[in-house]
Chain A
């Protein structure tokens, strides 16, 4: 007998992150409180599990100057979430916070505070990456020792859980002491056990270590979107790892980061999707992407002309803070082949190579695909990455959510009050 699987939904702000210049009718209000407040209310109207706010700790730079093409400038997420707690009642409130630039005591305290102030709706996406570029804004350059970042993250999260558990159930503070490889702290925690026991802990990533770390420590794993078949294999691999930590399948929710484009017909949706990609990759944006791959100044090249004939000069100093570009020479070769095969300009090549949106179609088709993805065990749900705000989230809530509900694939009202209850996560074992 199979239990009917339901979909979990979340949205991330800011969304897709790529250039949204001039496309947003509500421009000018991106930072003002009214904008995120409206997004949060929309997500709550759509009965979403949670809203996730990203953390940005250094503005991107390119060729030694501040990168000026992409949307940048964003509130500090935990502070904003506390304000959003005042304009929502049930929506889960998640913030990305980097472990490398945080102290366990202070962060555990801020997260416990959010959980108390929101009556059990807090979540923490622990971002474990770090680099010297971002570290330049922090004391000691942050703990940017990448070698054992996963061990450090597991210790950090475990320590946060220890702090959240340190008061007894009847509100008596007990001293804690922790002496580990990365942290050596002791004292008393400042708050009673949070309403959820522990705020929901989210990890993101796809690598072997990311999966292991999530299996050990996370309540939610955010993964890159994949085909159904690849998603099934990924989810099975992650869930297989849980047993080693004494955890069950339902203890870890896997959510896939997706972009959605809707249309009244399939053809219209495809046309909109292509139009959005063109908007996101402007002529200047295409050159910028190319310069990052080539590691050289390409400002003399015409975005509507052919790709450079020279090979990339892999120079990590050219665009600092952004690792993992793989083998630039190989990538350049792939792009050249693509451009040659289809007769594409620089901009067309970048658009072609930058990947399509995850779900493109009519609301009916998208709802069916989302449901099928979860029914096939490829994930427990989705984190929407709106390509533009506010319209994108609103459209999804108005057009797709009702169809998911008709299909019995999504809640028609919040059953509980806490984020853990929305996600169907068990209460963490108390040490009361």
Chain B
């Protein structure tokens, strides 16, 4: 009998990046495969610094081709408009009936700055502070329509109840936003905000605003240390640390099939590489690693980036996930329909609702 596992349910996510693909089909295929495995969500990275389609657009295209899996595109905050970012994420949440997330990232390079020509490149800590402000104002704008603000009241001829609509009047260091949003409050209240918290400047933003933090860690000890720090900082900023899911991020190369892991791999754990910790081995050993780390309580789950997208995701779903399901460690169907439900996160209360209307 396997040991009682971890602090809660195991959460699994996978990247569906496909460098060089600009059409819909390759992404739809991977997302459907991940959904067959019951994964919490898929991520699609994005950057102005390299070729690729707009990630939020791709996952919007994936939305009607899937039913349950969470959809988490990267949207950067440095050269984009906070108002547009929040509206796009809210719309993805509407289009997917409550499955949207947003992986927050920044643009640090001079090359990206030149594509916009509006501001010079800036240091990472300043950009992550701005990303935090964007995450903050996004949640305010999502709340700027209280649930049920659309009343369609025939006797008074009113379409909206303006007491349930709110200016956000946000003034940050690099931008200000008046509000309210033009998109009604999304189905999840707040779509899930995801931050890769591996680097220092991002960790503060993650602790304050993220629902899910990703940590690239090669050892359980490393993962546990970052996890503890994130939870402490979340508590310091007034949050309940249990509202933050922390997932270990690994690159996975399952090309060796069922063969024994190379020294330093598989059973020995992931190896650090410039791209992040890389697990190379078989799906069975990966299942063992996932079960062990989770049971030891060093992580709430894993975010896995297949090195060879189609091959490795297929082996992950049909091998690793099937095994975890067989051992009763991972869901075999989706009990909920929204990403928040998959993650065991409550739909947040509206920050404007308690005060009544003040618009």
By beta carbon, the residue of chain A nearest B50 is A190
A390 to B95, CA, bound (A): 18
Provide the residues of chain A in CB contact with B157, threshold 8 Å: 19, 21, 69, 282-285
User: Which one of B53, B177, B178 lies within 8 Å of A113 (CB-CB)?
Assistant: B53
Q: Is the CB of A33 within 8 A of B154?
A: no
Question: Is the CB of B162 closer than 8 A to any CB of chain A?
Answer: yes
Q: Is the CB of B161 within 8 A of A68?
A: yes
Known contacts A105-B115, A113-B53, A116-B23; decide if A190 and B48 are in contact (CB<8 Å): yes
A183 to B114, CA, bound (A): 11
Q: Is the CB of B117 within 8 A of A109?
A: no
Question: Is the CB of A267 closer than 8 A to any CB of chain B?
Answer: no
Q: Mark A15-40, 1 if CB is under 8 A from B, else 0.
A: 00001111010010011110001000
Provide the residues of chain B in CB contact with A185, threshold 8 Å: 114-117
Known contacts A76-B91, A187-B115; decide if A117 and B182 are in contact (CB<8 Å): no
A75 to B63, CA, bound (A): 15
By beta carbon, the residue of chain B nearest A183 is B117
* CB within 8 Å of A: which B18-47 residues: 22-24, 28
Known contacts A85-B61, A103-B79; decide if A31 and B184 are in contact (CB<8 Å): yes
Question: Is the CB of B183 closer than 8 A to any CB of chain A?
Answer: yes
Q: Is the CB of B116 within 8 A of A27?
A: no
Q: Is the CB of A73 within 8 A of B83?
A: no
Q: Is the CB of B83 within 8 A of A57?
A: yes
Provide the residues of chain A in CB contact with B165, threshold 8 Å: 59, 66
Give min CB distance, B94 to chain A, whole Å.
Answer: 6
User: Which one of A67, A191, A284 lies within 8 Å of B53 (CB-CB)?
Assistant: A191
A285 to B22, CA, bound (A): 47
User: Which one of A21, A73, A82 lies within 8 Å of B145 (CB-CB)?
Assistant: A73
Q: Mark A57-77, 1 if CB is under 8 A from B, else 0.
A: 111000001111111111110
Give min CB distance, B65 to chain A, whole Å.
Answer: 6
* CB within 8 Å of B: which A88-142 residues: 101-103, 105-106, 109-110, 112-114, 116-117, 119, 136-139
Question: Is the CB of A331 closer than 8 A to any CB of chain B?
Answer: no
Q: Is the CB of B94 within 8 A of A31?
A: yes
Question: Is the CB of B355 closer than 8 A to any CB of chain A?
Answer: no
User: Which one of A32, A56, A119 lies within 8 Å of B182 (CB-CB)?
Assistant: A56
Provide the residues of chain A in CB contact with B176, threshold 8 Å: 136
Question: Is the CB of A173 closer than 8 A to any CB of chain B?
Answer: yes
Q: Is the CB of A73 within 8 A of B60?
A: no
Q: Is the CB of B57 within 8 A of A65?
A: no
Provide the residues of chain B in CB contact with A59, threshold 8 Å: 165, 180, 182
Assuming A79-B60, A101-B83, what are 14 further A-B pairs, CB within 8 angstroms?
Answer: A21-B153, A33-B96, A66-B162, A73-B149, A76-B87, A76-B90, A79-B56, A83-B60, A83-B95, A102-B84, A137-B83, A186-B117, A191-B52, A284-B157
Could you list some 25 contacts between A and B, CB below 8 A? A33-B64, A33-B95, A33-B96, A58-B178, A59-B165, A68-B159, A71-B159, A73-B184, A75-B91, A79-B91, A80-B94, A82-B57, A83-B92, A86-B63, A87-B64, A110-B57, A112-B53, A113-B53, A136-B178, A137-B83, A139-B82, A188-B51, A190-B52, A191-B53, A284-B158
